[in-house]
Amino acid sequence: MPKVKIGVLISGSGTNLQALIDNIEKGLINGEISIVISDKKDAFGIQRAKKHGINAVEIDKKNFADKNIFMKAIMDELEKHHVELVVLAGFLSILSEDFIEKFRNRIINIHPSLIPAFCGKGYYGQRVHKAALDYGVKVSGATVHFVDEGADTGPIILQEAVKVEDDDTPESLAARILKVEHKLLPQAVKLYCEGRLTIEGRKVIIRTQND
């Protein structure tokens, strides 16, 4: 089976990108990262990619007055590298409808909560963990899902719970959840690259390797 060409979109340090790179280099994922794109200048994730010989570019959204032109620039870059699967690894820009339609059921995102809790517009970074602690939940976690036109509303691929401790801060909870993210995202990408994910309505069916 040929390797799936992956495009990874980032906005910051790229720790989830690093988790993907590590798993690919170990031969655990039947894919290759063709391009890494940051929507912010000087994102450390770009350096991570280049260190591993991966094509990486900055397409700074601040340089675009129009969102659709900005999104088209990213799509053009993905097309140039023949990307089949788009992975959002801490990417903070909202995708356009044209982008989602072009890569329908081929965009995967990681979110640091158990969707549908603490997700949607405005829930990103430490805001997610602060909201969870303020609400007093006993568990939080991470979710990998396909991306649709809504904010964090696409079909869920994988989830894992993380216990919330009484003395947790947003930072301490984020650190434990991040470890789970680094496991779940490569696992979901692995399943996709093996052709084992099927979407049926809102459900993602994970087939066994023998199916």
Count Cβ atoms below 10 Å from residue 73 Cβ, excluding itself: 18
> Which residues of the chain does CATH 3.40.50.170 include?
1-103, 111-143+156-211
User: What pTM value is reported for the model?
Assistant: 0.95
Identify any residues that bridge with 146 across adjacent strands, giving them in sequence order.
108
What's the pLDDT at 210?
A: 66
What's the pLDDT at 193?
A: 98
- Any idea how long the chain is? 211
Q: How far apart are CA 152 and CA 144, in angstroms?
A: 10
Those residues with Cβ within 8 angstroms of residue 53's Cβ, 6 or more apart along the chain or in another chain:
none
Catalytic residue among 111, 129, 145, 182: 111
Those residues with Cβ within 8 angstroms of residue 115's Cβ, 6 or more apart along the chain or in another chain:
143, 145, 152, 156, 159
What's the pLDDT at 40?
A: 95
Residue 22 burial by Cβ neighbours in a 10 Å radius (0-12, 13-18, 19+): middle
Q: Residue 111 catalytic?
A: yes
What's the pLDDT at 209?
A: 78
The correct answer on CATH 3.40.50.170 for the domain covering 111-143+156-211 is yes
Residues in the chain predicted with pLDDT less than 50, given as ranges, are none
Asked if residues 140 and 173 have their Cβ atoms less than 8 Å apart, the reply is yes
Q: How far apart are CA 145 and CA 151, in angstroms?
A: 11
Residue 186 burial by Cβ neighbours in a 10 Å radius (0-12, 13-18, 19+): buried
Can you name the CATH fold of 1-103?
Answer: Rossmann fold (3.40.50)
What's the pLDDT at 211?
A: 62
Q: HSE (CB half, 13 Å, CA atoms) of 194?
A: 17
For the chain, the first-to-last Cα distance in angstroms comes to: 16
